[in-house]
Amino acid sequence: MPELAPVLTIAKLTMWEASRRKLLIAVLVLTLVVVGATGWAFYQLRYSNGPGGGAQIGEVALRVLAAQVLIFVAFLFTAVLALMSVLVAAPSISGDVESNLALGLLARPVRRSEYVLGKWLGLAALIVLYAAGSAILELIVVDWATGYVPPRPIELIAYVAGVGLVLLTLALLLSTRLAGMAAGFIPLACYFVAWVGGILGGAGEAIGSQELIVTGLVSKLLLPTDGLWRAAVYAMEPASVVATYRAAGSAIAAVPFAATDGPPPAFLVWVTLWFAAVIGLTLWSFRRREI
Amino acid sequence: MVDLQERQAAAATAAASPAIHCVELSKHYGRTVALAGLTMTMPRGEVFGFLGPNGAGKTTAVKLLLGLVDPTGGEGWVLGKRVGDVPVRRRVGYLPELFRYQPWLTGAEVMRVHCELARLRRSTWSDEVDRALRLVGLAGRGRDRVRTYSKGMQQRLGLGVALLGSPELVFLDEPTSALDPVGRHDVRQIIHHLRERGTSVFLNSHLLTEVEMVCDRVAMIDQGRVIATGTLDELLSGSACRFRVTGLDPRQRASLSSFGDLNDDGEWIVILGLPGERVPEVVQEIVGMGGRLYAVEPRQQTLEDRFLQLLGEGGS
């Protein structure tokens, strides 16, 4: 059975490594720039005539508009988070094995399972910290600029972080067998395919195509990123927008920036099982890897 | 009380057990045989040289003994515990061959990470790190990032990491491969120091002269099997004589093998296992065949002589 102490040591080392890399600093600087730029844009939404010029649109319309712009900004953040998750996880284990660093670590009283869990925990903590930090900052800026706060901010952060964690977990699994480039490319490609799969599934619902609905469902089950993204979208929509979408009928399901319902509990259970299964597969794969 | 006695008995048994003992330990990668069946015993407190040509299975053997790879067959014990036992690694140090530490960490930080992984008491970390840095000649460079270290300094750092916590058994896989002559001398001094302290050192090396200088006991492997093992005195009991000869054709040179195992590099002919009283007979034979003899140097057999002799026997 894995022990906690070595898991935490490897997790700390993993976070330490990332914090010393230029990638994290670049992402943090870029995030601050984007938050600043979007803050300015949200400010212009409210005061379209410039500072102190007075609101040109009503409060309800402004909230709807702010919600829509926020969804697109969140999509941008999610894409950056997805890319970052893959970039930090893909070379994580394979790099240690190729450089023989893993030999030195695993010759200590550290089980392979503890090494893998430590890697996952350290990277996951980084991704969750970044997702929560950047999202809270952005939401504060949006609130300051427009007075709009999405209805379910905690769920929003959890689902966006979930997208990053799914891709991080998949990249770490591949990192036990593949070199960094391949282990990074495959999850990113799957992320985009799942995105398209979600759109196809929604289109299937709109036109009543069972085949497309099944396609969407399968893609959502295999890689639950699109399902989590839709859940995040729902967390950002004001009640009035949700009501409008529901009134619009099933056609709205094909739009990846709109959601009429929150994630079903069964989907959240599936996501939990998906994490357990992929982490279990990662442990098994690295246990059998010759180093 | 019984429990205490049992534990004391177990501790006494473990202390009396060899540093390493293995029986037919083997590793196959598919159809490729990396280690055919390693059987050997390494007593405690000795410097044990593990020799073999490239591809003989030396590094595979080290990885098996450290539990880094699973054996395909056979059994092994390290410090009285079965190969693969995780807690025993607290008492073992390891310097891998061709490794790279985290370049973003300082040398002292690398060592602190290993102190933590080795489960050393936190209060001892600073002293352990300072001692190890001093021992390997990196005092004053501990605060520098590893990326600024030369290859030789990284090798010294690796050696220091392997010695953290005063392990009972240290595996050194080609420890002098990246070092200059001064560095090699320093490593030899460190190994002598370890032996004086009673540490068992498993030295995996292809540098035979180095091994000859520091090892008490040697195992030679070829094609994944031990072909000879013993103390240096036991292995190098034979004498040898070398002759600088010209004027003989290859067939004539080869005919000298009737006197002993022959090692002919074109200029010098070394005859292994040649008793001193037979040297005049060889001289007579060379001159009789029309050869011109420039030098005759009787000497004690070296590890290299013995190694080549054994490889020759294995191949013939």
Which has the higher per-residue pLDDT, B15 or A129?
Answer: A129
Residues in chain A within 8 Å Cβ distance of B171:
107
Torsion of Cα atoms, B219 then B224 then B227 then B228, to 10°: 10
Residue A290 has its nearest CB partner, among B29, B66, B171, at B29
Six token digits for residue B16: 């009396």
What number of other Cβ atoms are within 10 A of residue A183's Cβ? 25
SS (H, E, C) A112-161: HHHHHHHHHHHHHHHHHHHHHHHHHHHHHHHHHHHCCCCCCHHHHHHHHH
pLDDT, position A284 = 96
Residues of chain B above pLDDT 70, percent: 92
SS (H, E, C) B204-231: ECCCHHHHHHHCCEEEEEECCEEEEEEE
Residue A108 has its nearest CB partner, among B69, B100, B114, at B114
Can you spell out the DSSP letters for B291-314? -EEEEEEEEEPPHHHHHHHHHHHH
Which residue of chain A is at minimal alpha-carbon distance from B118? A108
A53-107 pLDDT, tens digit per residue, is 555 667 777 788 888 889 999 999 999 899 999 999 999 999 999 888 899 899 9
Distance from CA of B209 to the nearest CA of A (A): 27
Question: What is the SS3 assignment for A180?
Answer: helix
Which residue of chain A is at minimal alpha-carbon distance from B170? A107
Which has the higher per-residue pLDDT, B304 or A225?
Answer: A225
Q: What confidence tier does A212 reach under pLDDT thresholds 50, 70, 90?
A: very high
Closest to B94 measured CA to CA, from B8, B1, B163:
B163
**Paired sense of beta strands B292-300 and B239-246, if any:** antiparallel
Q: For residues A191 and A181, give the distance between their C-alpha atoms in angstroms, rounded to a whole number.
A: 16
Which of A65-74, A226-235, B228-237 has the highest mean predicted lDDT (pLDDT)? A226-235
Six token digits for residue A173: 């699994």
A248 Cβ partners below 8 Å, 6+ apart? none
pLDDT, position A61 = 79
Residues of chain B above pLDDT 90, percent: 35
Alpha helices in chain A (DSSP H): 4-19, 22-46, 59-89, 92-98, 101-106, 112-146, 153-175, 180-207, 210-222, 225-236, 239-248, 265-287
Phi-psi region of B110 (alpha: psi -120 to 50; beta: other; left: phi over 0): alpha
CB A14 within 8 A of CB A168: no
What is the pTM (predicted TM-score) of this model?
0.83
Distance from CA of B157 to the nearest CA of A (A): 12
B239-282 pLDDT, tens digit per residue, is 778 889 988 888 888 888 888 888 887 778 888 778 778 888 99
Closest to B241 measured CA to CA, from B261, B211, B222:
B261
Does the beta-carbon distance from B118 to A109 stay under 8 Å? yes
Does the beta-carbon distance from A108 to B99 stay under 8 Å? no
Angle at A214 between CA A210 and CA A220, to 5 degrees: 145
Residues of chain A above pLDDT 90, percent: 57
pLDDT, position B13 = 54
The alpha carbon dihedral of A8, B124, B168, A97 has a sign of: positive
Over 50: is that where the pLDDT of B316 sits?
Answer: no
Q: What confidence tier does B9 reach under pLDDT thresholds 50, 70, 90?
A: low
Q: Mean pLDDT, chain A, as a whole number?
A: 89
Six token digits for residue A36: 């600043």
Does the beta-carbon distance from A104 to B101 stay under 8 Å? yes
Residues in chain A within 8 Å Cβ distance of B114:
104, 108
pLDDT, position B313 = 62
pLDDT, position A281 = 97
pLDDT, position B5 = 61
User: Residues B183-202, buried b or exposed e (16+ Cβ, 10 A)?
Assistant: bbebbeebbeebbeeebbbb
Residues in chain A whose Cβ is within 8 Å of chain B: 5-6, 9, 13, 16-17, 20-21, 99-101, 103-111, 290-291
B26-35 pLDDT, tens digit per residue, is 999 888 888 8
Phi-psi region of B268 (alpha: psi -120 to 50; beta: other; left: phi over 0): beta
ipTM > 0.85 for the complex: no
Q: For residues B154 and B148, give the distance between their C-alpha atoms in angstroms, rounded to a whole number.
A: 9
Which of A177-186, A249-258, B274-283 has the highest mean predicted lDDT (pLDDT)? A177-186
CB B24 within 8 A of CB B75: yes
Q: What confidence tier does B8 reach under pLDDT thresholds 50, 70, 90?
A: low
Q: For residues B219 and B42, give the distance between their C-alpha atoms in angstroms, rounded to a whole number.
A: 9
Does the beta-carbon distance from A108 to B101 stay under 8 Å? no
Does the beta-carbon distance from B113 to A20 stay under 8 Å? no
Residue B94 has its nearest CB partner, among A9, A107, A290, at A107
Does the beta-carbon distance from A104 to B158 stay under 8 Å? yes
Q: For residues B96 and A244, give the distance between their C-alpha atoms in angstroms, rounded to a whole number.
A: 65
pLDDT, position B181 = 86
Which residue of chain B is at minimal alpha-carbon distance from A98? B99
Does the beta-carbon distance from B63 to A291 stay under 8 Å? yes
Q: For residues A196 and A217, give the distance between their C-alpha atoms in angstroms, rounded to a whole number.
A: 12
Angle at B263 between CA B260 and CA B265, to 5 degrees: 150
Which has the higher per-residue pLDDT, B151 or A46?
Answer: B151
pLDDT, position A126 = 93
Does the beta-carbon distance from A110 to B117 stay under 8 Å? yes
Residues in chain B whose Cβ is within 8 Å of chain A: 29, 63, 66, 68-69, 86-87, 89-90, 92, 94, 96-102, 104-105, 113-114, 116-119, 158, 161, 171
Which has the higher per-residue pLDDT, B194 or B299?
Answer: B194
Over 90: is that where the pLDDT of A42 sits?
Answer: no
The number of CA neighbours under 13 Å toward the Cβ of A236 is 31
Instruction: Please compute the mean of the pLDDT values over residues A20-34 and round it to a whole number.
Output: 84
Residues in chain A within 8 Å Cβ distance of B85:
none
Six token digits for residue B270: 């070394």
B97-149 pLDDT, tens digit per residue, is 878 888 889 999 999 999 999 999 999 999 999 999 998 889 989 999 999 99
Which has the higher per-residue pLDDT, A116 or B37?
Answer: A116
Q: For residues B235 and B240, give the distance between their C-alpha atoms in angstroms, rounded to a whole number.
A: 13
Q: For residues B117 and B137, give the distance between their C-alpha atoms in angstroms, rounded to a whole number.
A: 23
Does the beta-carbon distance from B104 to A20 stay under 8 Å? yes
Six token digits for residue B91: 């008492």
Does the beta-carbon distance from B92 to A99 stay under 8 Å? no
pLDDT, position B2 = 46
Six token digits for residue A286: 């690295």
Report the residue of A10, A20, A103 to disrupt the B interface, i.e. the one with the largest count of B CBs within 10 Å: A103
Report the residue of B86, B101, B177 to disrupt the A interface, i.e. the one with the largest count of A CBs within 10 Å: B86
Does the beta-carbon distance from B89 to A290 stay under 8 Å? no
Which has the higher per-residue pLDDT, A240 or A112?
Answer: A112
Q: Which stretch of DSSP H or E encloses residue B269?
A: strand B268-272
Phi–psi pair at A182, nearest 5 degrees: -70, -40
Residues in chain B within 8 Å Cβ distance of A100:
96-100
Q: For residues A205 and A214, give the distance between their C-alpha atoms in angstroms, rounded to a whole number.
A: 10
Q: What confidence tier does A46 reach under pLDDT thresholds 50, 70, 90?
A: confident
Does the beta-carbon distance from B86 to A106 stay under 8 Å? no
What number of other Cβ atoms are within 10 A of residue B313's Cβ? 12
Distance from CA of A76 to the nearest CA of B (A): 30
Closest to B267 measured CA to CA, from B292, B235, B284, B238:
B292
Over 90: is that where the pLDDT of B315 sits?
Answer: no
